[in-house]
Structure 1
């Protein structure tokens, strides 16, 4: 049969929280995800023919990375039960048994994992990469100890809202893990353009905080059947470049700044949104229920 699918077709719709109590469905096109996988294969050492643990819930966009970065590149995807996913000791036994080389973890679980594995790092000697996302990464003592105990280990701090998936990455290794208590979110991946703007939509200089806007091939198609919300968050790009597919910019609501070395530092939200274990929570929604 003739393949009629294009990069504009949706790969999935994933729902995010909202202040109205009605979660918004983010429609992610295939071209954005193909771009992410192509970048990952080119830049991450363990992307080809490796063993990856399928840890994330299918309701998280990280599950897409786990599944397709493994199966799309001749690798092996190892599934775990819900019980194994929730208990660090059982999960480590799975990692050892199947010789898992790459892990995708949320920040909270990564710290639990590090504390447990520091008792006997031989249990995870085969792990080469850990990709972390979902909320701001902190280099807690247990995680720093793990980097010392497993010097060949690399941690990749990924950043990206559901509306774009991953747009930046920062590598943490044995040579730089002590540089930051709060590691930066890094630099943009291929075919992604980032803008740090002030309230007047002007670019800010290095070291000055501003709101992060995202353009390029990574953008979703907006919110499914929610045109008003889409127009509010996806705005016309005043800096259109012919080298990028960036007719629109996604307004993240995140405050960031450029460091002197070109890395981007995450500062916090410009509104009252918070993240709990990777879930975006609008405090206005909680307030509405309580009132």
Structure 2
């Protein structure tokens, strides 16, 4: 919190009785505090002139370093996104949307303003429902919610709960997910198979750009691939796949994903070295363009549809061969008893560890080994499997991979005779 305050240098802070203790810990007693009576606040405000370069918000993300990075996002980023989403969705503008995202996650701005700018109705969430799928499902039905934004891990949990209880909200028509690789599990297919009126959208974009591509899954759930594409470029986005020398890669080849267009953020606060590394000018046919290095790997198919191949920092070497951890996770989730999986290199010397959420009795380790061998090269071997009851989550709702190391009960391999 102190690092965030030092970078942001705010002129004022908003707090409530819930967050006042955190303010005390920051030793901010020297700052005058004023109670605000919201009941006396005006019901509407004078419309301000739009300024595309004006900073709209700053979000802090730790990324892979653990040190908060302040990403300053201008008006034009959100305006571009709202225009694009209004044109590519299949709901009327005045839709009923359920809040789910926390304000520390950039999807919250998309969720709020796409609803209010379209004249829709925005239902505020009881914070406890983020961890209570049964209560959330009940409210989706009761309030006849039409649109829902969910991180991938929350979507998977909601689908599992819904299918196990036979709950298929018939007013729900649009579900938008983002934040991690979307895996089309059996639970997800079963849930949407019971809601033929609903469509699932996979959005992609880092905090520094917000959404830059999307893919609408087919209406026929049997046509869903296991790993959903991140889709086609969004409105005004220029997506470029390059090699280590910033040269475009041939079609179908793996490359580093770069983004240009009005959606890229202004800068990282007080970090000129990181700005120089991540925001680069590259020559294009129409002249030099400013690109943001996402740190993600992807490939484009013959239809220019992008397929996410993981983070560059989540590529590992197994027996000298490079492998993306998401490939191993997808292979493990082919097992009927595995509802979710996270794989990471852990310990010293590094070992390949898989954390699993399972349905019912944990699967046999030899069975899991066979699943990996069936879908991956023969040299890939998981050193340890661990079962977890629930995933630790980041404030944005993603799985907190750094908090996994000490969690879970190890599954034992049977000794061969």
Relative to the length of structure 2, the TM-score reads 0.63
Q: Does 1:102 align with 2:147?
A: yes
Q: Does 1:70 align with 2:106?
A: no
How has the CA–CA distance of structure 1 residues 199 and 144 changed in structure 2, closer, same or farther, with 3 Å as cutoff? Answer: same
For 1:189 and 1:19, locate their aligned partners in 2 and report how far apart those are by CA, in whole Å. Answer: 26
1:134 is displaced (CA, Å) by 0.6
Q: Does 1:80 align with 2:129?
A: no
For 1:282 and 1:230, locate their aligned partners in 2 and report how far apart those are by CA, in whole Å. Answer: 26
| Structure 1: runs of 5+ lacking an equivalent | 287-291
1:22 is displaced (CA, Å) by 2.3
Residue 146 (structure 1) aligns with: 191
Residue 251 (structure 1) aligns with: 293
* Mapping 1:200-211, distance limit 5 Å: 200-211=245-256
1:72 is displaced (CA, Å) by 0.7
Residue 89 (structure 1) aligns with: 134
Relative to the length of structure 1, the TM-score reads 0.89
Residue 24 (structure 1) aligns with: 69
For 1:216 and 1:132, locate their aligned partners in 2 and report how far apart those are by CA, in whole Å. Answer: 22
Once the two structures are superposed, residues 28-55 of structure 1 have per-residue CA deviations (whole angstroms, 9 ceiling, x without a partner) of 1111110100011111012500100110
Report the RMSD for the aligned CA atoms in angstroms. Answer: 2.4
- Corresponding residue SS for 2:206: coil
Q: Does 1:12 align with 2:77?
A: no
- Corresponding residue SS for 2:313: coil
Residue 202 (structure 2) aligns with: 157
For 1:240 and 1:28, locate their aligned partners in 2 and report how far apart those are by CA, in whole Å. Answer: 27
- Corresponding residue SS for 1:114: helix
Q: Does 1:111 align with 2:146?
A: no
Once the two structures are superposed, residues 212-264 of structure 1 have per-residue CA deviations (whole angstroms, 9 ceiling, x without a partner) of 0000011000101211111110011222636xxx7310001111001122210
For 1:279 and 1:121, locate their aligned partners in 2 and report how far apart those are by CA, in whole Å. Answer: 26
Q: Which has the larger radius of gyration?
A: 2
Once the two structures are superposed, residues 161-186 of structure 1 have per-residue CA deviations (whole angstroms, 9 ceiling, x without a partner) of 00000000000132365341101100
Relative contact order: is structure 1 or structure 2 higher (C-alpha 8 Å, sep ≥ 6)? 1
Aligned residues: 281
- 8 Å contact from structure 2 (residues 152, 398) kept in 1: no
- 8 Å contact from structure 1 (residues 102, 129) kept in 2: yes
For 2:101 and 2:47, locate their aligned partners in 1 and report how far apart those are by CA, in whole Å. Answer: 33
